[in-house]
Amino acid sequence: MPKALWLLVVAMVINVTGASFLWPLNAIIIHQELGRSLTAAGFILMLNAGAGVIGNLIGGRLFDKIGAYKTMLISIVVTTISATILAFYHSYYFYMFLLMGLGFGSGMMFPAMYALAGSLWPAGGRKPFNAMYVAQNVGVALGTALVGVVASIKLTHVFTANAGMYALLLIFVAIAFRKMSAQSNQATTLNVFEQKTPLRNNYRIHALMLLSVAFFICWVAYTQWQANVSVHTQSLGIPLQQYSLFWTVNGLMIVFAQPIVTWFIKKGRLSLKAQMVVGVIIFMASYLVLAEAKMFTGFLVAMIILTLGEMFVWPAVPTIANDLAPKGKEGFYQGIVNSVSTGGKMIGPLLGGILVDFYSMTVLIYVLLGMFLIALMFLSKYDSPLKKMIHQQNQLNTSN
């Protein structure tokens, strides 16, 4: 693995460790500390994710235009300023607007990091994206292991820890990436609507959109663990420290079990499409267990199964986006898939909060199971536009 990619992996670990001081507790802080309903908590998290969607798209385009270093610096400055103010002022409205700032800054950062990973090791195939995925989960494991300790002293100390990690990230990126020669190729156009290929004939985008629907649904379901499941565990008397342990297990399991999953994928010769289908089916199994969970062990089993599912799905999507992207558009394509995942984070907590407030946790889970079936339908068809493109190219070559 190239040295520059190792530096990027370290940056990702610091980034996610800092973020992990806050995101597992957002719904709990809004619901318990600020005294708002789950629907209100879902609305604030929706604003946070909505800002992230905008950040994703802008970050992807900036990567193609000005390169990774400047894009990452801009994004980290935004997150550091937002996190620092939040450490001092975290009343309801400050929380709302500063969480939007954090969402926007983080949103800019992720597509730049993933596009840079692909450009630093173009011959690596899935490997650079697997490395970034594992790095994310090292950060999740570290952050969530520490958040229980920090929150047990005082819940609002998590804001200070969050700001401190972003400040560290800013210093690291400013120094480590300053002389990095790897730059993204500038895009010749700003977006797909300005390309020479008409949108109706842009089969790469068609495939990406079909894939994105399935990816969006998976994230709508996954974010329930960060929002409504967290509050549900509290209502069942499961301590905050045990809830944070779920995410520590999630992160550690990915770090140590990802090589086993990678071996299984290679041994089974699973295509990226098959890899995602297997992951979605495992997701469904985890939510069936979650529907019956009443004690810590039940939730832990559901989390372990959920983690297996994400190890199949999450690394596959940026890999497919990188494969689909025309040269010079890698940032834009990564921006799309990252904005889709952030869109799932935007809709998920609000949808879940409404269903739990008006119906029950069980109703929410069975709605999600139905959505997973829709995701499987879209996954089964996502590569159809590519087959059509290959068929047309073969016909053109034959006629010539």
For residue 239, the model assigns a pLDDT of 85
DSSP string, 326-368: PTT-HHHHHHHHHHHHHHHHHHHHHHHHHHHHHT-HHHHHHHH
CA angle 195, 197, 199 (to 5 degrees): 90
- Please tell me the predicted confidence (pLDDT) of residue 206: 87
Question: How many beta carbons lie within 10 A of that of residue 296, not counting itself?
Answer: 17
Q: Which candidate, 306, 209, 208, places its Cα nearest to that of 253?
A: 306
CA distance 4 to 306: 32
* pTM as predicted: 0.79
Per-position pLDDT tens, the chain of length 400 = 788 899 999 999 999 998 888 877 787 788 877 888 877 887 888 888 889 889 999 998 899 888 889 999 999 999 999 999 998 988 888 989 999 999 999 999 999 999 899 888 888 878 898 899 889 888 888 887 888 788 778 777 889 999 999 999 999 999 988 876 444 444 333 444 444 555 565 778 888 999 999 999 999 999 999 878 888 888 898 887 788 889 889 888 988 898 899 999 999 999 999 999 999 999 999 999 999 999 999 999 999 999 999 999 999 998 999 888 887 788 888 989 989 998 898 888 889 988 998 899 999 999 999 999 999 999 998 888 777 766 666 666 666 5
Of the chain, the end-to-end C-alpha distance in Å amounts to 42
Residues 8, 342, 206, 287, Cα dihedral to 10° = 110
Q: Find all residues with CB under 8 Å of 166, minimum gap 6, and list them.
A: 15, 18, 76, 79, 80, 83, 84
For residues 55 and 108, is the Cβ–Cβ distance under 8 A? yes
Position 181 scores a pLDDT of: 44
